[in-house]
Amino acid sequence: MTFHNPILPGFYPDPSICRVDEDYYLITSTFEYFPGLPIFHSRDLVHWRQIGHVIHRPSQLNLDGLANSKGLYAPTIRFHNGLFYVINTLIPNFKDPTPPYGNFIVTATDPAGPWSDPYWLEDAPGIDPSLLFDDDGRVWYTGNRIPRTGESDHGHREIWLQELDLNSMQLIGEKYALWDGAAKRAIHPEAPHLYHIGDTYYLMIAEGGTDAYHAVTIARSKTVTGPYESCHRNPILTHRHKGYFSEIAATGHADLVQTQNGEWWMVALGVRPYSTPFEPGYHYNLGRETFMAPVTWEMDGWPVVNARRGGIESEFPSPNLPPHPWPEQPVRDDFNVDTLAFCWNFLRNPREQFWNLTDRPGHLRLRLRPEQLSEWVNPSFVGRRQQHINFVAETLMDFAPENEHECAGVVVYQNSDQHFRCVVSLSHDTRMISLTKRDKKTETQLAEMPLSSNPCYLKVTAQGQAYSFFVSEDGKEWHPVAENVDGRILSTTVAGGFVGTYIGLYASSSGLPSQNIADFDWFDYRGV
């Protein structure tokens, strides 16, 4: 049997994994989205189902006003003595940071939740923290920081270590500098994970930045505080040598897990670049995704990723575990329960209940509010990840705009400055549907046409970088609003940042108060 990569398609970067007996748990970063840090469960490392979020209450963390790609960076999940630990970094807006922020720990007895409020760590600089629960009962924190020399040009950092006291949930004792990467003055050494395997400590990190030069490197020591010896085969994982048009690129930021049968596996992030019908280029709209590869240990005591060919492939033999598929997620969300499915996210903290699943049973109701998608706010937006290069998304919307400021519809969203809005509104008292592109703070109306029906069916499709938008009165005969629109503004290489594309349902009164609502009967999403 084989499995296909990515094991988590779409915007699921910075994976971390742990095993508890025969169960596996995996989490990823989410930045400005809420709920934050999705947690997945598997019995075979191939089939994953989401069981909740680590950050699931607005009261846990303040995500208000975060800029694009600020928020929750790379997490680590570990299990110790009946308790799950997640350690993470909340990155604020640097110009106007609102405490608390920095590195924190949350815990839970059940990985599905509830999770505790954060324990904020004092004097813990840097990002991408991790924990090692050592055999002698001590707990070690690792993170990255500016080197003690103060020389941090071009993103150079070092990995550091300190003991964590579980009673006070604070760092204690001396700080130790461990390693600053395999390359000389390595760029962005980060994402450390420390493992005690046999009589050796292994320190695995990412370096080279998060894009095409991303890599995983490793060092080892007989004592936890070092000195650490760099692996002579470093990097142990990278696709930088494969160029920009590799099927899988930017591999890095990894974690290791050993199965109950003794096999070792690595989860890592990567991207799937795809060219465009408009011009060649290195683009990936789905963001950074979670991949998996086998790991073996050589006689010299160093790990090798995919000894067969090296790197991450699109297909591998499955782990030596009993297959355990979960029921497939339905294509359609009928909104027929009183809570949103785990796949749906908001932007930043929802401080008021602008969505509703009970006022009109079987519908998702969005309340129009002044907040807009182009602002660093919490707009009336409910979105899910684009998980396929080619997809179809459809919905049935009931919405009657009362003035020219009100709009509702579907959006394809990368960030506040890079997105498409296909919405129904009024123009000179005429009901219209329009498509607007926002690119680098500049808005361009690409299409507009009269619309007589309400409710109306809305559809978005993608064939690679070509996005098309349609409307229908009956769900059978579709009329194009705009076809084959260049989607490269949604690519991370154009938009910048660390996130991927969402398809969302949206309603706004564009800066003015409103009592109006938009109802969505159902939402379909499927890869094609």
* Three-class secondary structure of residue 54 per DSSP: strand
371 labelled catalytic: no
14 labelled catalytic: yes
Active-site residue (options: 44, 180, 190, 394): 190
Bridge partners of residue 426, in order along the sequence: 431
Q: Is 471 left (phi over 0), alpha (psi -120 to 50) or beta?
A: beta
Backbone angles phi, psi at 244, to 5 degrees: -75, -20
* CA–CA distance, 63 with 248 (Å, rounded to integer): 32
Q: Which two tokens stand for residue 454?
A: 């309400």
| Number of C-beta neighbours around residue 128 at 10 A | 29
- One-character DSSP codes across 255-278: EEEE-TTS-EEEEEEEE-----SS
> For residues 104 and 120, is the Cβ–Cβ distance under 8 A?
yes
Active-site residue (options: 14, 44, 255, 519): 14
* Three-class secondary structure of residue 135 per DSSP: coil
* CA–CA distance, 312 with 290 (Å, rounded to integer): 11
Query: Rg for the chain (alpha carbons), in Å?
Result: 23
* CA–CA distance, 372 with 370 (Å, rounded to integer): 6
Query: In 3-state terms, the chain is what percent helix, strand and coil (to 5)?
Result: 0, 50, 50
- One-character DSSP codes across 325-347: PPPPPPSEE---SSS--TT-BEE
Q: Which two tokens stand for residue 107?
A: 């815990």
Q: Which residues are catalytic?
A: 14, 190
